[in-house]
Every structure is written in C-alpha cells, then in structure tokens.
Amino acid sequence: MVASMGLAWYSANTVYNLTNKMLFNTWSCPWTVTAIHLSYAALYSLISWGLQAAGVPGSASMLAGRRPRSGRIPGALAPIVVAHGLGHICTQVSMAAVAVSFSTTIKAAEPLIYVGLSSYLLGLSYATPVLLSLVPIIAGVGIASFTEATFSAVGFCGAMASNVLYAFRAVASKSLASEESEGGGEALSPLTTYGLVSCGAAPFAIAAALWQEAGKAQATLPLAIDAAGGPAQFALLLFGSCALFHLDNQLSFAVLNYVSAVTHGVASAGKRMFTIVVSIIVFRNPISALNCIGMSIAMAGVLAYNYLLPRYPPKRKRIASA
C-alpha cells in the first residue's frame, strides 16, 4: 500500500514537472498558470467537501481531507494563505525561466531558509550536526548555479523567493498547530488545511494574474494553441498540469500519514533527484560534469538534513534572566 502510494507520488511529481515545463514552452504565462492551478485545487476541495456534506458514499476518501466544520477560512490561516499563493507564483516564474533540473536544485535550499526563519521567529536552536548538513546544500546550490548553462537571474530569484515563502509557510503552520494543541482547539488535518489554503489563495492568485498578465495571456493564447498542436493538445497540457499539481500535493500528504517525518523527508529528497534526472533526459538540457556534481552535493545535503533533524530535534532557546 505505502510502496504503491510512494511510486504514484514520484510518478505524479515527475510527470507534473515535465508537463508543466512543456506548457511553459508553449505558453509562458506563469502568473496565469498559478491562478488556474490554485483554482483547480480549490474547486476540487469544495466539490469533495460538498459531497461529504451530502453524505455521498466514498466522498470521504477523495484525498481532500475531512470537511471543515466551519464554512469559513480561519483568520489564523491568512499568513499561510498569502505565503502559499506567492510561493507558488514564484515557483512557476522560476519554472518558466530555467530548466526543470536547475529550478529543482535551487528549491533544495529550502531547509536552509527554514532553519533561519524558525530560529528567528520561533526561537528554536538547532544542533551542530543539523547545521553542518546545511553546508553541502549551500555548496551544491552554489556550484550548480555557477555552472548552469540555462542560468537566469529571474529563474534563480524566483526559486529562492519561493524557498523563503514556503519556509515561512512551514514555520507559520508549525506555530498554528502548536497553538491549536495548547488551546484545545480542533486540529485540521494536513489535507484539510491544504484545501482551505488553496481556497484562500485562489482569489488572490486570480487577481494577481489579471494585474500582471491579463494582456499577455490573451495575446499569446492563440500562438500557444498553435504551438501545442491544436486546442485539444493545449487543453490536455493545461488540464494535465493542474490535475497533476493537485495530485502531487495530495499524495505527498497521504504518504505522510503512513510513514514517519524522516522517511517522508528522505523520500522527498529522492523524488527531487529522480525529477532532475528524468527532466535532463527528456528535455536534453546541456549539463556539465561540475554542474552534475553540484546537484549531487546539494541533494546529499538535503538527505543528511532530513536524516539528522529528527535525531537532533530543535530546542527552544533559553532566555537569559536579568
């Protein structure tokens, strides 16, 4: 069960990244694609929750989480909603600008940002082995960046900005979970939280896309349809990108329900490496030996971080008494 779910997760993530890049190769409108992605996720969650409310058999197992008791998005989720929406925009901007392999490698630096933000915002202190595991991540990302044939400042900055935003989302989520636990409130499952966050981020992403790309998206759409081979082929790329994006997130949370955090983290690092290798083969991106070494070092650092973090959990910093 877990093995088949993990294989499905790897497959969904890899095919999503490939399909998404194919879409951007024909229609380079990342803000608009983000809005469509989040709207699809929000619509899927709302429909599944509506079916649950109607008592439709099997609706509770649609990988959408349990229907929230309240019909509104909790105010405490607002920072997470904004970080989720902006983070996905930055990810798509990066994916549209550079090779999948390079963008995925830069995304591997997220643990570095998370450690920094959680230390500052949550007052957490990390053990030396965990901090040392960040060194190969920094070194690997640096080597990969300086030797990347498709390097783009927009692509690099977009991926790094998404790292900051997703790390902040993780810190805010952790803080919210702790507050709910201490206050005795109803804890939302990860899938339910993802659905609520998608519902909140979708209107924001739509407004951002209209502000940033309305004219460009409309003007380039006919050319994109022709480049894709016709309306049906373009629709398949767009729908496939949306469905696979949502499925990737659903399966990630589903796998987390069956395995430990460290196993999930290691599997996630392996998934990134798998995606990098497959994308290089499919798109035939030029890659040097040094570039490959940099990617490998970064991924080794991520594996080490995910392995060491549960064994050396962070502690609250002691506040010196006056």
Tens of pLDDT, residues 124-180: 899 999 999 999 999 999 999 889 888 899 999 999 999 999 989 888 877 776 665
**102 vs 112: CA distance, rounded Å:** 17
Are the C-beta atoms of residues 217 and 208 closer than 8 Å to each other?
A: no
The predicted pLDDT at position 233 comes to: 96
- Where would I find the H helices in 98-127? 100-107, 110-121
What is d(CA 307, CA 111) in angstroms, rounded to the nearest whole number?
A: 12
Asked if pLDDT for residue 60 goes beyond 60, the answer is no
- Comparing 259 with 321, which gets the higher pLDDT? 259
Task: State the average pLDDT over residues 86-91.
Answer: 96
Q: What is the pLDDT of residue 262?
A: 62
Query: What pLDDT does 75 receive?
Result: 72
Residue type, 223: L
Whole-number Cα distances in Å, 35 to 39, 182, 247: 6, 35, 16
pLDDT at 320 over 50: no
Residue 16 has a pLDDT of 96
Q: CA-CA distance, 17 to 254, in Å (whole number)?
A: 20
Position 67 scores a pLDDT of: 60
DSSP-derived secondary structure for 161-177: HHHHHHHHHHHHHHHHH
DSSP three-state, residue 104: helix
Q: Could you tell me the CA-to-CA distances from 207 to 28, 41, 94, 95, 143 in Å, in that order?
A: 18, 17, 20, 21, 37
Q: 3-class DSSP state for residue 125?
A: strand
Are 127 and 317 within 8 A, CB to CB? Answer: no
Q: Compute the CA torsion angle 153, 155, 161, 166 (nearest 10 deg).
A: -160
**Per-residue DSSP letter, 66:** P
229: left (phi over 0), alpha (psi -120 to 50) or beta: left
- For residue 321, what pLDDT is reported? 44
Q: What are 265-297's pLDDT values in tens digits?
A: 778 878 888 899 899 999 988 888 999 999 999
Three-state secondary structure call for residue 149: coil
pLDDT > 90? residue 189: no
What are the C-alpha distances in Å from 262 to residues 44, 265, 306, 307, 313? 29, 5, 6, 6, 11
CB 113 within 8 A of CB 163: yes
